[in-house]
Amino acid sequence: MPRPVGIRAVAMGFCLLLVTACGSSAAGGRPAASPSVLLWSPGAGGGSPSARGDEPFDLDRAVLRVKRLGYTVDDEPAALKKLRGPLRALHGHCTNSADGTCVSVFFFLGNEYAGYDAAGIAQSTIESQDGTTVTLSYPVYAPTDPQCCASGGTSRYRARWQDGKVTFTPPLPANPNHPES
């Protein structure tokens, strides 16, 4: 016969569910990815996905993966369904971000998550993607620039799948909005 669950156990379980589902806050009030899910670094080796370029893109699975990382996909589903592969990129912002300046680009090789550009940076844009190369741009901020107005121009990087990982040309700094920091 099953043992009844006490109110304290139910309350503790509910609290754990809330903490896990909502993640924690990072600096600046920006949500962080759930501690139970790791963002795979595109510079890390091993455990890399392999892909066939002819398989249909499972957009729902990709959006769910981004959501589990603590982000919301910014692009319209109709546009995302048209992406050619095998390398695809989805732009997302930190879920519940108050000002929308906490973004990342998530890469998929075929239907497998392959990494991200940089976690929780201020701004980025996917300029183009053709199934093998993704071109990203980042406004460059000087230390005294307000959030509205980057004075350092724009940096562009090309992402490709090479040697079992996403690689960037030129190499991507930890924070492409503030490359000198």
pLDDT surpasses 50 at 90: yes
Domain tally for the chain?
1
The answer as to whether 109 is a domain residue is: yes
Q: How far apart are CA 35 and CA 28, in angstroms?
A: 18
Angle at CA 95, nearest 5°, toward 171 and 152? 40
User: What is the pLDDT at residue 168?
Assistant: 97
Asked if residue 153 belongs to a domain, the reply is yes
User: Tens of pLDDT along 123-140?
Assistant: 999 999 999 999 999 999
Residue 1 lies in a domain: no
pLDDT value at position 31?
33
In the numeric block, which tokens belong to residue 127? 């300029």
Specify the pLDDT at position 55. 74
What pLDDT sits at residue 139?
A: 95
Residue bearing the bigger pLDDT, 52 or 32? 52
The pLDDT score that the predictor gives to residue 13 is 44
The predicted pLDDT at position 96 comes to 87
Domain around 78: 24-169
What is the percentage of the chain residues whose pLDDT exceeds 90? 54
Per-residue pLDDT reduced to its tens digit, 104-122: 999 999 999 999 999 878 8
Q: Tell me the C-alpha distance between 123 and 150, whole Å.
A: 10
What letter would DSSP give residue 31? B
Assign 51 a pLDDT band (cuts: 50, 70, 90).
Answer: low
Q: Are 90 and 80 in contact (CB under 8 A)?
A: yes
